[in-house]
Structure 1
Amino acid sequence: MTIRPTAAPHVPRELEWAGALVLLGVALSLLAPGATFSRPTFNAFQAIAPEGTWGMGLLGIATVRMLGLWINGNWRRSPTIRCGTAFAGAAAWFGLAWLLAHDGYPGWNTGVGAYAALGLLDVFAFARSSFDQGRNDRRHALARRAAA
């Protein structure tokens, strides 16, 4: 009797895709014609970098993240890409939330809660992709030992 390992269960990445797509939407909004940073809410953002710089940085994170999700499972190191971009995404979301919380107006606007929630989802994605990478490394080590 031969015992074969069962196929790994599908682990949905919809939350990671949603976070990447929202980040892409924010990036494209900042890169679109118009002066988003002319609104007083964005004074803290403008003090750090111009609108185009923010847009390109967020676009880079979103693009690399979507590429990592797309190749996920087809390359042993893809969880490392997911892990790194989830960390970058969490930093971006928490940074955006912090800047919106310090916009000079009393109270917090709705972006603070929304961006902080997206940051928490990326922290979860970071933890899950770290676990996935460890599992991949253990599988690879077992396969290497079995082949030897």
Structure 2
Amino acid sequence: MREALMTTLAHISKSFRETFPVRASEWALAAILFNWSVVLFLQPDLFAKVGAFSSLAKLMPQVTFAGMCFLVGFGRLVSLAINGAWRRSPHLRAFGAFLGTGVWFMISIGIFRSGSGATGLGVYPILMLLDSYNVIRAAGEAGLSDHQNRRVADNGHPS
């Protein structure tokens, strides 16, 4: 058990060092979503107090939004940490970035609909576009992983 844990931690450490430069935006956006959840949990009346978020309260209760951000953010952090240790990890990364795109879209639309003209309109749409790019990139890696797995399953013979 201890040896398996040490092997897993060694893989995570090596993978992080090797892949962080090309996945920095995925790590950052996952951490931002996770941090969003923490802020929303710690300030349960934030949607009610901040005008720019008033429209978000109409979409869903703040605690539900916080839970969604937690699940997506934490899930993405885990999928990035295990990336490469499991063949389907690029698929998880693509799915997580897709969900993140949806969250950034909801926040962007919520701020826009509030009519507050908040500076978030200059930030959240960019985060949405960046996660859209992450979906495309991770999906491409998922396709490569699938292709390599098929070649191995076919003993190196093209199908």
- Tell me if TM exceeds 0.5: yes
TM-score, length of structure 1 as denominator length: 0.86
Is the 8 Å Cα contact of residues 97 and 113 (structure 1) preserved in structure 2?
no
Q: Give the structure 1 partner of residue 9 of structure 2.
A: none
How many residue pairs match? The answer is 139
Q: Distance in 2 between matches of 1:142 and 1:72?
A: 20
Q: Give the structure 1 partner of residue 47 of structure 2.
A: 37
User: For structure 1, which runs of at least 5 residues remain unmatched after alignment?
Assistant: 1-8
Q: Deviations over 1:2-23 (max 9, x none)?
A: xxxxxxx887211100000111
TM-score, length of structure 2 as denominator length: 0.80
Q: Distance in 2 between matches of 1:104 and 1:144?
A: 55
Which residue of 49, 68, 82 maps to 2:79? 68
* Code of the aligned partner of 2:36: V
Q: Distance in 1 between matches of 2:125 and 2:20?
A: 28
Q: Distance in 2 between matches of 1:66 and 1:22?
A: 10
CA spacing shift, 1:11–1:147, aligned 2, 3 Å: farther
- Counterpart secondary structure, 1:12: helix
User: For structure 2, which runs of at least 5 residues remain unmatched after alignment?
Assistant: 1-18
Identical-residue share of aligned pairs (%): 28
Q: In angstroms, what is the RMSD of aligned CA positions?
A: 2.0
Q: Distance in 2 between matches of 1:128 and 1:41?
A: 32
CA spacing shift, 1:80–1:43, aligned 2, 3 Å: same
Q: Distance in 1 between matches of 2:84 and 2:62?
A: 35
Which residue of 89, 102, 108 maps to 1:97? 108
Q: Does 1:50 align with 2:61?
A: yes
Task: Give 1 or 2: higher helix fraction.
Answer: 2
Q: Distance in 1 between matches of 2:151 and 2:52?
A: 54
CA deviation after TM superposition for structure 1 residue 72, in Å = 0.7
CA deviation after TM superposition for structure 1 residue 75, in Å = 0.7
